[in-house]
Amino acid sequence: MKHTYISGPMTGLPLFNFPAFDAARDMLLSCGEEVFSPADLDRQLGFDPIKNPDTEVTEAFLSMARERDIEAIKDAKAIYMLDGWEKSVGARAEFALAQWYGLSVTYQTEPCRKVAISDIKPHESCNPKDIAGSKKCPMHLLPPVALEKTAWVHGIGAAKYQKFNWRDKQISASQYVAAIMRHLMAWHYGQDDDTESGITHLAHIGATVNILMDSEDNGCLIDDRPVRVKSKC
């Protein structure tokens, strides 16, 4: 079972914030989770500010700990963010890496909070290019596995029907919704992969949604939904 990685601030806090890491570890373990706590791994390497508050943190130790933690995030299923993570350079980097790998994210005091792009500050740069880039679509947050598998489905469709065939003539929304529901029901009732393509039904759903959005954006979608909500404006 993949683990949950605990991330949070350490540097500059009393006892390097180990008590907060320990409390989070114990809470997650009590919920039946496998847990990776950097504080526990630091102890195994001989760094324990609770028992030995005068222990020095060397650059060599920090470099080794960073590499170890990056590998742990790659193998995790989720990341648990301790309070104050937004102020920590290391925790922000771990958060960004977790987002890139598609990990689920929970927070110590706000487990259902949705993080706005403006909350993510990877560094304190005042470079105008960096500032402008932070306001653009965060393409780097798209999970690579979802992109790859939906791309394979689009490739199969292109070979059968021609690339972007839905732009050549209007398509019916209801037909594509029906296709989505068929794939969803097949997956829901235990069939992981489509029998024809061998690719997960979830990727077929993603590719079909892509077609609906692109068709709508290009004015090629016949909107035959049974109920269309009218704006109150």
| 179 assigned to some structural domain | yes
Q: Give yes or no: residues 131 and 168 share one domain.
A: no
Residues 17, 125 share a domain: yes
- Whether residue 44 is contained in a domain is answered as yes
Asked if residue 87 and residue 7 are part of one domain, the reply reads yes
Determine phi and psi for 19, rounding to 5 degrees: -60, -35
Q: What is the CATH number of the domain that holds 24?
A: 3.40.50.10400
Q: 185-228: per-residue pLDDT in tens?
A: 999 999 999 988 889 999 999 999 999 999 988 898 998 888 76
Computed over every residue of the chain, the mean pLDDT equals 83
* The 3-state secondary structure of 56-70, one letter per residue: CCCHHHHHHHHHHHH
Domain end residue (candidates: 140, 167, 201):
140
Q: Which residues pair with 6 in a beta bridge?
A: 80
Tell me the CA distances in angstroms from 220 to 164, 202, 213, one per residue in order. 11, 24, 10
Residue at a domain's end among 140, 167, 182:
140
pLDDT, tens digit (0-9, with 9 covering 90-100), for 34-48: 999 999 989 888 888
User: pLDDT tens digits for 63-76?
Assistant: 888 999 999 999 99
206 and 124 part of one domain: no
- Does the pLDDT at position 113 exceed 80? no
Q: Residue 56 half-sphere exposure, CB side, CA atoms within 13 Å?
A: 3
In this structure, is the dihedral angle defined by the CA atoms of residues 25, 26, 31 and 33, taken in order, positive or negative?
positive
Environment class of 227 (CB within 10 Å of its CB; exposed 0-12, middle 13-18, buried 19+) = exposed
Count of the separate structural domains present in the chain: 2
State which residues form the domain around 35. Answer: 3-140
Q: Are residues 11 and 109 in the same domain?
A: yes
pTM of structure: 0.47
Helix (H, G, I), strand (E, B) or coil at 167: helix
Verify that 100 and 186 share a domain, yes or no: no
Position 229 in a domain? no
Give domain status of residue 228, yes or no: no
What is the mean pLDDT of the segment spanning 136-158? 82
Query: Would you state the pLDDT for residue 233?
Result: 44
Task: Name which residue leads in pLDDT, 42 or 54.
Answer: 42
